[in-house]
Homo-oligomer: A and B are copies of this chain.
């Protein structure tokens, strides 16, 4: 049915590569915006902050879209990557939990420009339901099923407090959502076939703190005194 390429059989793209494709896409868009029509793997790798060999290998999983001795056509490669990722059309997305973070997400213009469309904002708090955020009226959480069916939503965003995250995820899964982006600092368990990705500010900061501490101790050589082996 879809653009089923005749040449490719069982093309499996490594997960690490998949995670970098959006970065390449962003870099290509930046290049295109500055009027550049063609670039080498070296150019693009620099813009994307990776090694050029890695970039070439990553792109090789998609196909041979470059020209030896020349490089890559920026627009063409950008389209190919967008197609591979699946963002040539917009994906409908629902956001659950319209608190501090939910407001910021609702107002985020980057959704639209990167292949996503927020079709609904949902919250369980009657005090928030009915408010207009970013031009969209917040609807009760119980409308989730109706909305998901109506817009054929496959991707849900959780921006509720941690205690509610698992419940919200369960409801999403029950209704047919198969991809979840979780901002709550909680591990959410989902059945096979459902993807969950997490964005956790505190974890990122703590990783930075760890390295920061090591930098400090490297000069200092004075780790905290340990209570000793009991």
Q: Does A31 contact B (CB under 8 A)?
A: no
**Is the Cβ of A228 less than 8 Å from the Cβ of B1?**
no
Q: Which of A103-111, A120-128, A143-151 contacts B (4 or more CB under 8 A)?
A: A103-111
Contact of A47 among B5, B187, B209, B227 (CB under 8 A): B187
**Is the Cβ of B48 less than 8 Å from the Cβ of A18?**
no
Contact of A85 among B23, B101, B210 (CB under 8 A): B210
* Cα separation A1 to B1 with both chains bound (whole Å): 61
What residues on B are CB-neighbors of A185 within 8 Å?
26, 110
Q: Does A56 contact B (CB under 8 A)?
A: no
Number of copies of this kind of chain in the complex: 2
What residues on B are CB-neighbors of A3 within 8 Å?
229
**Is the Cβ of B178 less than 8 Å from the Cβ of A215?**
yes
Given contacts A110-B202, A179-B212, A212-B154, contact A207 B6 (CB under 8 A): no
Select from chain B the residue with minimum beta-carbon distance to A2. Answer: B217
Q: Does A77 contact B (CB under 8 A)?
A: no
Q: Does A37 contact B (CB under 8 A)?
A: no
Contact of A206 among B21, B47, B105, B201 (CB under 8 A): B21
Q: Does A25 contact B (CB under 8 A)?
A: yes
What residues on B are CB-neighbors of A6 within 8 Å?
223-224, 226
**Is the Cβ of B83 less than 8 Å from the Cβ of A205?**
no
**Is the Cβ of B19 less than 8 Å from the Cβ of A203?**
yes
Q: Which of A1-48 contact B (CB under 8 A)?
A: 1-7, 9-10, 13, 18-19, 21-23, 25-27, 47-48
**Is the Cβ of B206 less than 8 Å from the Cβ of A115?**
yes
* Cα separation A1 to B187 with both chains bound (whole Å): 34
* Cα separation A22 to B155 with both chains bound (whole Å): 26
What residues on B are CB-neighbors of A10 within 8 Å?
221
A-B complex: 10 closest residue pairs judged by Cβ atoms: A193-B228, A86-B213, A49-B187, A179-B208, A22-B206, A6-B226, A100-B104, A104-B104, A22-B203, A114-B202
